[in-house]
A and B are shown apart, each in its own frame.
Chain A
Amino acid sequence: MNKILLFASLFLVSFSVNAQKIYATKNGQIVFNATGGIEKIVAVNNQVDSKFVDATGQIIFGVLIKGFKFENQLMEDHFNENYMESTQFPKADFKGYIKNIKEVDLTKDGNYNINLEGTLTIHGTGQKVATTGVLQVQQGKTAITGEFSVKIKDYGIKGLYIGEKIASEAKIKVNCKYQN
């Protein structure tokens, strides 16, 4: 009898361990905006790789710099060669946690405000960041959106016009729809 109880409880424990779920997408979107003057400096990347785990709130976003498309080819070339040096530093990522994941009910529709903390690495330089976002659950589909600013010079990015035609703080807009 005791053995049966032991097995039954082990069985239940193994269930609760397996209950964590990974949400992932390979086609998230990031919009970069560093417009400082009249000329629009905006680029879009539609190949954002992101995953998060519901049990721990651990989250990662990865993006390739050469995947950012500008309207103006010359701007794109300068972005890659003179500023981001994307041959040397091909990717940027954020690794961290959704601190208040326990407040999110992923089985219930709604918009949940989330707090993110972690390390943002751009141009080979990592910086601790904290930001907020919205986790949306709608008919079983999960999405995370957020917007934050990065000080370009914090990431060792040099080059002309920063603080003039190029804003000293770039706006980064994230929109990831996860496949369950």
Chain B
Amino acid sequence: MKIKNIIIFLIIILLAAGSVYYYVFIYAKTHHRNIQSEQGIAIIADSLSAQYQNNEQAANAKFLNKAIIVKGQLINITQNQQGQTTLLLGNANSFSNVSITLSKNISLTQKPGDSILIKGLCTGFLSDVIITEATIQ
């Protein structure tokens, strides 16, 4: 009877250790946060950059680490050092705009001057408001 209890106890411990290992080292590597499935906050690019320029702390409280849907005029299209497409949205005459890095393998049909709608993660404000992991809506 006692041996049976010890065996059951050991099995439970092994299962627990196994599931912790699975979660930490396997699940967490293959399951990343999916910005696209989160509900996004919709905003116009000019308004987003204006809010960050006026009060960065207040804007961070609203937008930092959140999924954001931004609409705006495409100023330019470039590529980053890893070959991902980056976009600048807003107003070419404005001091700060919204700088967007698209997720891998997303093709773009829009040209500078066109209006565009994207969804991505807001990581904060440097010279521009930074949005990463974005897709075109």
**A residues apposed to B, CB below 8 Å:** 26-29, 39, 44, 46-47, 49, 62-67, 69, 71-75, 86-87, 90-91, 175, 177, 179
Contacts and interface: CB of A to CB of B under 8 A. Distances in A.
A27 B124 contact: no
B101 A49 contact: no
Interface of B: 23-25, 28-29, 31-33, 60, 64-65, 78-82, 84, 86, 99, 101, 121, 123-128, 130, 132
18 contacts: A26-B126, A27-B80, A39-B25, A47-B80, A47-B132, A64-B124, A64-B126, A64-B130, A65-B123, A66-B64, A66-B65, A72-B28, A72-B29, A74-B28, A87-B60, A90-B123, A90-B124, A91-B126
Contacts of A73: 28-29, 31-33
B124 A66 contact: yes
Contacts of A47: 80, 99, 101, 123, 126, 130, 132
DSSP majority for the A interface? strand
A125 B80 CA distance: 29
B81 A46 contact: yes
Nearest to A88: B60
A90 B28 contact: no
B126 A49 contact: yes
A47 B99 CA distance: 9
A124 to B, nearest CB: 13
Contacts of B82: 29, 44, 46
Contact of A66 (B31, B101, B123, B127): B123
* Residue of B23, B31, B64, B130 ringed by the most chain A CB atoms within 10 A: B130
B99 A75 contact: no
B126 A74 contact: no
A18 B26 CA distance: 56
